Amino acid sequence: SQQGEEDPQALSIQEGENATMNCSYKTSINNLQWYRQNSGRGLVHLILIRSNEREKHSGRLRVTLDTSKKSSSLLITASRAADTASYFCATVLGGSNYKLTFGKGTLLTVNP
């Protein structure tokens, strides 16, 4: 079963708007990572947040983590058409040192 589940499954916005995607997970984690996948291509690592962190920024990306609610969000500000892709959260379980478990992803479409 999936450890992480993204919400929404699909999101369509206009260029310049912000996009927010959420990830919920079931058990305690060591860290949570977000990846991007352009259509039919390999995944690319975007950002990682550890279980003792609450917020991280990288360029136009902002990730939050709420371990009490077992959830994370990815915010992309001032979106561009090139941000169109699927976004996946991946969790590493607490106590383990391997095996990312991926969610099913959110398909983001940014319309020019």
Partner 1 sequence: DADVTQTPRNRITKTGKRIMLECSQTKGHDRMYWYRQDPGLGLRLIYYSFDVKDINKGEISDGYSVSRQAQAKFSLSLESAIPNQTALYFCATSDFRGNVDEQYFGPGTRLTVT
**Does the footprint of partner 1 cover residue 78 (CB under 8 A)?**
no
**Does the footprint of partner 1 cover residue 49 (CB under 8 A)?**
no
Torsion of CA 30, 58, 34, 105, to 10 degrees: 150
Alpha-carbon span 61 to 74, nearest angstrom: 7
**Does the footprint of partner 1 cover residue 72 (CB under 8 A)?**
no
Alpha-carbon span 27 to 96, nearest angstrom: 12
Query: Of 75, 97, 89, whose CA–CA distance to 18 is shortest?
Result: 75
Tell which one of 92, 93, 108, 110 touches partner 1 (CB under 8 A).
92
**Does the footprint of partner 1 cover residue 76 (CB under 8 A)?**
no
Tell which one of 14, 18, 45, 111 touches partner 1 (CB under 8 A).
45
- Site of interaction with partner 1 (CB under 8 A): 2, 30-31, 33, 40-45, 48, 88, 92, 97-105
